[in-house]
Amino acid sequence: MKSKAAVLFNSKRPLEIIDLEIPNELDYGQVLVKVKYSGICGAQINEIDAVKGPDKFLPHLLGHEGSGIVEKIGNGVSNVSVGDHVVMHWRPSKGIQSNTPKYNYDGKIINAGWVTTFNQRSIVSENRLTKIPNDFDMKVAPLFGCAITTAFGVINNDANLKIGQSILIFGLGGVGLNLVQASDMVSANPIIGVDINDNKIEIAKNFGLSDGVNFKQKSLFNELTKINNNKNYDVVVDTTGKKEVIELAYELTHKDGKTILVGVPNEKISIYSLPLHFNKILKGSHGGDSNPDIDIPNYIELYKKNKFELRKLITHEFELEEINSALDIFRTGDCGRIIIKM
């Protein structure tokens, strides 16, 4: 069996669309999924650009949030069955963590992780799948694979944001927009956002943003405290991973507040650490400590009751063959969430 896929053959180069050979037999704990839709996340840009150093797994597949239908299950799999509709996610959940698959193309091995979504058929570890109702919209389902679960988890688990507390969010991309939305759901006040793109600030206002400031604004520190009645913030979340932003986020956090780092820095940061010995908290988040098996069904029920928005988060849709154009738009930042239709 063959499957069309977008593969990274060389770092910092466009993905190549090829026909993969799918292994005939599944390993213990593996599941073959027919992918319907995939999201794009900043993590894929980081992989393409090799921000963590030389990529030793080339060539390999990408993508960690998607929706699909189970076509085949390997030995030991008990949480999903053939025909089930599923969300594909990077955070481990219940079930077996299988070996990672290896695909073939033109005599070459194509590597993959426990989940990939830039391929029309994907072999996925059981613990990277969560069953969803068969009537749920497959187009919005990928958002539960990363953007929603990460953002809601940051607000609930990492920040433990309370009613009436102030929050400042740096970066209003897919995760940032959902941080705004989750903050609004718990009645935070005010909810302030910072981005280099004014359009993103305007989009975020549709999801509960009280006000926004362009990162290029002069006297940014003063402007952001002014918006919050000349006070620092109870919670500040950084999604950018940029050194200068993290340091500013920490400075803007109240002495009894929390700085939450969602974006992963690739440089050392410099902060005055004395406040950490008292009540100030600086914390790195790992996917919001979300538990997909519990969180995704809960969030689906909330969505069915119109407690939050999903469709308006999606600003662009592309076919798999157009994925490099989708990645180009993602890099501009002039978008919400981009969906790839398989």
List the CATH number of the domain containing 62.
3.90.180.10
Domain identity same for 19 and 125: yes
Report field, pTM of the whole predicted structure over 0.85: yes
Domain identity same for 125 and 38: yes
Does residue 260 sit within a domain? yes
Domain of residue 32, residue span: 2-140+310-341
Does residue 257 sit within a domain? yes
Domain identity same for 275 and 152: yes
C-alpha 238/C-alpha 260 separation (Å) is 6
Which amino acid, one-letter code, is at 61? L
Does residue 304 sit within a domain? no
Domain identity same for 166 and 275: yes
56's CB contacts (< 8 A; 6+ apart) are none
Q: How many domains does the chain have?
A: 2
Q: What is the CATH number of the domain that holds 197?
A: 3.40.50.720
Does residue 297 sit within a domain? no
Digit-by-digit pLDDT tens for the chain (342 residues) are 899 999 999 999 999 999 999 999 999 999 999 999 999 998 899 899 988 889 999 999 999 999 999 999 999 999 999 999 999 999 999 999 999 999 999 999 999 999 999 999 999 999 999 999 999 999 999 999 999 999 999 999 999 999 999 999 999 998 999 999 999 999 999 999 999 999 999 999 999 999 999 999 889 999 999 999 999 999 999 999 999 999 999 999 999 999 999 988 878 999 999 999 999 999 999 999 999 999 999 999 999 999 999 999 999 999 999 999 999 999 988 888 999 999
Domain identity same for 170 and 80: no
Domain identity same for 95 and 202: no
